[in-house]
A and B are shown apart, each in its own frame.
Chain A
Amino acid sequence: MEVCALGRLTLYEAGGKYQLVVRSLEARGEGLWRLAFEKLRARLASEGLLDPERKRPLPTVPARVAVVTSRSGAAVRDVIAVIRRRAPWTRILVSSCRVQGREAAPEIVTALERIGRDGSANVVIVTRGGGSVEDLWAFNEESVARAIVSCPMPVVSAVGHEIDFTIADLVADLRAPTASAAAETVVPDGRVLTAHLRGLGDGLTKALRGVVLRGRERSEEDARQLIQATHQVLSVKSAGIAVAAGRLEALSPLATLGRGYAVALREDGTVLRTGSMFSVGEKFDLRVVDARVECRVEGVRGLPADSEDE
């Protein structure tokens, strides 16, 4: 540890002794900071507050992200920019506080308490940009550590630069190297999510088409309406989910009819799929894209197996 002392130095010639009467003493370098850091770390560790099992999982798709930082700092801008880019539907709730100086620790504590009391956020980012050990010190205060621990939702900390480690980082549910990295961790990549949803929409239509083609036709009108509903949902330009209606059209069973295919149906709705299901003289309907054509079986001739299907 290094200190800077101001005082009077006296030499006792007889004994060859120096005496230093100190009037003021000030810590220099990082020695004292480190000592205080280690003491607090040990205390929190002894209470089990640093245990890995205490870490809470982050929500995968948070609707609202709270940010505890200075409203005028660079960190809040970084967080907003990243969330806007990755997950633009996310609401951001800033709880502003000073992040350095004497008032910083109590302000960070109350900013965290506000978030907890409001309760609408799904996850909290506590952050500030880089600075000296002294600048970052508020994040090594016990009161801040305890406020993070008692925050009702998971907390991600990002204090200083990548190399800086604070007590806040140790008690947070996750430590990120920078404010931008914290935001990246907290929100999902919107492109991945929308692609997944789009895939599920396609899968839904494909699967229904499969059932319709396999199964017994009964409520075609329902099917048509439902498939139209898919179009409506998927063509809503919501967060980039603009699936070309044509693509879905190609998947729907009715589109197959649009390409010139027809489905033969008995009056009770049964799909007549094979020759053996028809009997001469029987009436049936031919479902084409826009109508039901009433028909009667004149005769049935089997085909060679390889030319039977589409």
Chain B
Amino acid sequence: MNEHEDTFESALTELESIVDSLERDDLELDQALTLFERGIERLRVAAGFLDTAHGRVEELVQDAAGSLAIVPMEIGERDSNDPGVG
């Protein structure tokens, strides 16, 4: 998941600098379109990161042999957030 976070933050930073460059720099249309395209792609990455579908509650458990597993977690009656895990 670490690369996810990097991707979000770097996507955001790059997007900001692209908008800045499109606003300030005197660009040829070709360059501008290339930058714009890159910007759209970065926007897509950043928006995809915030997709609510990622948000699940899971539990990190260890079996007798000591190996770890991540399993869906139910937490009583208030847990209505996790209809389909997978």
Known: A117-B68, A197-B43, A217-B29. A88 touches B52 (CB 8 A): yes
- Do A96 and B40 touch across chains, with their CB atoms under 8 A apart? no
Q: Interface size of B by Cβ–Cβ distance < 8 Å? A: 49
- Do B15 and A80 touch across chains, with their CB atoms under 8 A apart? no
Q: Which of A61, A63, A95 contacts B54 (CB 8 A)?
A: A63
Give chain B interface residues in 55-85, CB to chain A under 8 Å: 55-60, 62, 68, 70, 73, 75-76, 78-79, 81
Q: Which of A59, A93, A239 contacts B58 (CB 8 A)?
A: A93
- Do B5 and A62 touch across chains, with their CB atoms under 8 A apart? yes
Write out the residue numbers on chain B whose beta carbons fall within 8 Å of the beta carbon of A76. 75
Known: A59-B5, A61-B8, A239-B51. A204 touches B68 (CB 8 A): no
Query: Nearest Cβ in chain A — how far from B25, in angstroms?
Result: 9
- Do A77 and B51 touch across chains, with their CB atoms under 8 A apart? no
Known: A217-B29, A219-B29. A93 touches B70 (CB 8 A): yes
Query: Nearest Cβ in chain A — how far from B53, in angstroms?
Result: 8
Q: Interface size of A by Cβ–Cβ distance < 8 Å? A: 64
Interface membership of A94, Cβ < 8 A:
yes
Query: Nearest Cβ in chain A — how far from B38, in angstroms?
Result: 10
- Do B43 and A233 touch across chains, with their CB atoms under 8 A apart? yes
- Do A63 and B49 touch across chains, with their CB atoms under 8 A apart? yes
Q: Which of A2-10, A168-176, A223-231, A294-302 contacts B (4 or more CB under 8 A)?
A: A223-231
**Chain B contact residues, CB within 8 Å of chain A:** 1-2, 4-5, 8-9, 12, 15-16, 18-19, 22-23, 27-30, 32-33, 36-37, 39-40, 43-44, 46-60, 62, 68, 70, 73, 75-76, 78-79, 81
**Chain A contact residues, CB within 8 Å of chain B:** 59-64, 66, 71-72, 76-77, 80-81, 83-84, 87-96, 110, 114-115, 117-122, 190, 193-194, 196-197, 200-201, 203-204, 207-208, 210-212, 215-219, 222-223, 226, 229-230, 233-234, 236, 238-239, 241
